[in-house]
């Protein structure tokens, strides 16, 4: 069963062709450079960039799928589309005007080539990303339900019980900022650019990921599995303000520019590492709580933040302590947003005949699991 999958929920325009769990072809165009100077995703720019690129991305994906060197738009699609069984598209959660672009394209192709659509929840995609295989079917790992899932991305921080294919129960989630979002905001205060996660990882490793300032670990005594990172970011902001001798009403960027040019790198690495440690330790504490609460020691982790090798090590150590197993996306492109994970999740929906009944469905920006 070949699925053409499309993902445009945030700042990656992506398409893939998958067969069961195998990725036969995959193309991702990241808009990061467009959004960098805004310190986050600028919605109307994202929409326009998706619109400008989507046809080309889909063409490239189909060319790779068929290994055809020269693509002939006239008739080329029709021939290739004969080998596509379904079209999958991200329905939400995400940015409404960005989701719209992928959905419109999926509907257009479905109508033209008479295909059924499978709508996929972006978070289902991140969950399945640890089970995505390359074109040769590696890694072979099989499903052994149930799993605990930790999703850590720029938009989401969730702990989910993964009971069986397409059977999820959200056990806890962030009440405000996601872990990646908090890292990005702290990074912005430090002048590290967007997205800041990779820079924070690099700086922290220079000081062996130590904690120098003891920022708060939010909600660790809440007795539940929810998160809240917005207060941590605020306390970080005020801490920096207190140490930079600036005025209360100054914008963070100006503080950062004036402050950091006059400070040494040591302080920067120590602050980055301490903030990262506060986020990661909170994730660890909650994940361990979930393991103890459910008795499930098989952990699946997905989302952009799990590109962080130090977080992987912490989670590996945690699971080892509980004599369990941990699964990460095997290939780096699968940690961030991509359409391959959407295609693989769609396959398990197709198995259960979960097709969109017609083409009248809409995007759901706040779709939950
Ligand atoms: O999953 P993703 O690509 O997009 C969403 O669905 O949100 O996640 C993006 C997030 C950003 O916040 C980015 O800073 C973070 O993942 N990230 C990292 C690393 N690489 C990306 N965070 C920590 N360490 C990294 N190496
Ligand atoms: Zn994502």
Convert the pLDDT of each residue in 331-364 to its tens digit: 999 999 999 999 999 999 999 999 999 999 999 9
Same domain, yes or no, for 172 and 319? yes
Same domain, yes or no, for 45 and 63? yes
Query: In this structure, what is the dihedral angle of CA atoms 227, 232, 233, 238, given to the nearest 10 degrees?
Result: 160
- What is the extent of the structural domain holding 29? 2-137+333-351
Q: Kindly identify the ligand whose nearest atom is closest to the C-alpha of 307.
A: 1
Same domain, yes or no, for 293 and 158? yes
153 annotated ligand binder: yes
52 annotated ligand binder: no
How far is the C-alpha of 322 from the C-alpha of 165, rounded, in Å?
24
19 annotated ligand binder: no
Give the confidence band of 248 by pLDDT, cuts at 50, 70, 90.
Answer: very low
Same domain, yes or no, for 130 and 197? no
Ligand 1 center from residue 337 Cα (angstroms): 9
* Mutation probe of ligand 1 site: the residue of 197, 335, 365 with most atoms within 8 A of C-beta: 197
Ligand 1 center from residue 157 Cα (angstroms): 11
Does a structural domain hold residue 174? yes
Task: Check residue 33 and give its pLDDT.
Answer: 87
249 annotated ligand binder: no
Same domain, yes or no, for 23 and 117? yes
| Average pLDDT along the chain | 92
Same domain, yes or no, for 303 and 155? yes
* Mutation probe of ligand 1 site: the residue of 154, 201, 203, 272 with most atoms within 8 A of C-beta: 154
Q: Kindly identify the ligand whose nearest atom is closest to the C-alpha of 305.
A: 1
CA dist 38 → 41, 159, 179, 201 (Å): 7, 30, 19, 21
Predicted TM-score (pTM) of the model is 0.94
Same domain, yes or no, for 12 and 118? yes
Ligand 2 center from residue 51 Cα (angstroms): 19
Does a structural domain hold residue 364? no
Does a structural domain hold residue 79? yes
Give the confidence band of 217 by pLDDT, cuts at 50, 70, 90.
Answer: very high
Provide the CATH number for the domain around residue 231. 3.30.420.40
Domain count, the chain: 2
Task: Check residue 241 and give its pLDDT.
Answer: 84
Same domain, yes or no, for 226 and 347? no
Mean per-residue pLDDT, 102-116: 97
Same domain, yes or no, for 166 and 110? no
Ligand 1 atom closest to the Cα of residue 335 is 1
């Amino acid at each position: 069963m070949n699925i053409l999958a499309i993902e445009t929920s945030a700042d990656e325009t992506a398409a893939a062709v998958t067969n069961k769990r195998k990725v036969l072809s995959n193309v991702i165009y990241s808009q990061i450079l467009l959004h960098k100077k805004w310190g986050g995703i600028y919605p109307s720019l994202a929409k326009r960039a998706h619109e400008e690129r989507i046809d080309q991305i889909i063409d490239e994906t189909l060319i790779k799928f068929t290994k055809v060197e020269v693509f002939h738009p006239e008739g080329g699609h029709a021939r290739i589309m004969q080998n596509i069984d379904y079209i999958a598209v991200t329905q939400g959660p995400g940015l409404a005007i960005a989701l719209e672009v992928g959905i419109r394209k999926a509907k257009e192709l479905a109508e033209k080539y008479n295909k059924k659509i499978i709508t996929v929840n972006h978070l289902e995609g991140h969950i399945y990303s640890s089970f995505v295989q390359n074109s040769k079917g590696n890694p072979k790992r099989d499903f052994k339900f149930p799993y605990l899932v930790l999703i850590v991305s720029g938009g989401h921080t969730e702990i989910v019980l993964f009971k069986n294919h397409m059977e999820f129960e959200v056990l806890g989630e962030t009440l405000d900022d996601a872990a990646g979002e908090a890292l990005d905001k702290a990074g912005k205060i430090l002048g590290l650019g967007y997205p800041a996660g990779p820079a924070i990882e690099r700086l922290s490793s220079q000081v062996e990921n130590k904690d120098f300032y003891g920022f708060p670990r939010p909600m660790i005594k809440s007795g539940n599995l929810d998160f809240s990172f917005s207060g941590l970011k605020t306390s970080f902001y005020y801490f920096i303000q207190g140490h930079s001798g600036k005025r209360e009403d100054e914008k963070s960027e100006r503080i950062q520019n004036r402050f950091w040019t006059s400070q040494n790198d040591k302080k920067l690495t120590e602050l980055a590492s301490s903030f990262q440690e506060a986020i990661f330790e909170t994730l660890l504490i909650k994940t361990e709580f979930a393991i103890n609460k459910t008795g499930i020691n098989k952990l699946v982790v997905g989302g952009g933040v799990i590109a962080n090798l130090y977080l992987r090590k912490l989670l590996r150590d945690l699971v080892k302590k509980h004599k369990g197993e941990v699964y990460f996306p095997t290939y780096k492109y699968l940690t961030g947003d991509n359409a391959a994970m959407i295609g693989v999740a769609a396959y398990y929906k197709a198995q259960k005949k979960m097709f969109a009944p017609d083409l009248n469905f809409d995007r759901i920006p706040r779709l939950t699991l």
